Amino acid sequence: RIVEITKGLEHPWGMAFLPDGRVLITERPGRLRLVENGRLVPQPISGLPNIIAQGQSGLLDVALHPHFAENQLVYIAYTSARSRGISTDVARGKLSGNRLEGVEVLFRGNQGTTTGRNYGWPVITYGVNYGIGTSIGIGTHQEGMEQPLYYWDPSIAPSGMTFYTGNQFPSWRGNLFVGALRGQILVRLSLEGKDVIAEERLLENQVGRIRDVRQGPDGFLYLLTDARNGALLRLEPAASK
């Protein structure tokens, strides 16, 4: 079953669970929000760097330092304006009350492959141009470029992914969950090693475009819906109260 925790989020993108039970949520227009005791705190967190939000760009993901309890460091991914266009940046700052302090940019760059294996984009892909459906690159295969382990054609517009390791859904432990925008579904993938051996589609057309999926510290699955009035949802077993 689906439980609505809060709504009123403008195109939420990513979330991170704080040790004290609060939840950090990014909104694509450039706001970092807090959910406390199931309530969206009205005032966004201040101190963020300059963020440019247009189209699908803006404030994207958020993550905590592994030792957040000791250092209170929060990492954010976002887009900023540069002389040659838009750049995707990563920055971090210390969460102090309702403000990020000492924000520093750690990474600033454009898309591309410099080392390791070449996964093809934008030369080969199974996808098409967003919104208009035209072809990208030369096709789906080229020597020296890696193939995906799994893909959807037509695309479900996957967005957000997490491995489930909790105890609330014992039969799903070890499964991979993927949110979908175009498909408006939550996909559950069963794996054997690197191979996907089964796919189940959940919540089809029930909650809207699923932007992110994360496992909470309580072992439930949490979803963000991508909408002007987006929501934070919790997926529970039907018997939970």
| pLDDT tens, position by position, 57-92 | 999 999 999 999 999 999 999 999 887 788 999 999
Residues 210-235 have pLDDT tens digits of: 999 999 999 999 999 999 999 999 99
CB-side exposure of 46: number of CA atoms within 13 Å? Answer: 4
pTM (two decimals): 0.93
How far apart, in whole angstroms, are the C-alpha atoms of residue 137 and residue 121? Answer: 8
pLDDT value at residue 85: 83
Q: For residue 182, give both structure tokens.
A: 């175009």
**Residue 40: beta bridge partners?**
35
| Residue with more model confidence, 21 or 240 | 21
Q: Among 181, 175, 169, which residue's Cα sits nearest to residue 234?
A: 169
Element (H, E) at 71: helix 68-71
pLDDT value at residue 129: 85
Give yes or no for residue 93 having a pLDDT over 90: yes
Quote the percentage of the chain above a pLDDT of 90: 81
What confidence tier does 110 reach under pLDDT thresholds 50, 70, 90? low
To the nearest whole number, what is the mean pLDDT of the chain? 93
Q: For residue 106, give both structure tokens.
A: 């750690």
| Residue with more model confidence, 114 or 143 | 143
pLDDT value at residue 113: 46
Q: Give all strands of the β-sheet with 59-64 in edge-to-edge order.
A: 59-64, 73-82, 85-96, 99-109
Element (H, E) at 31: strand 31-36
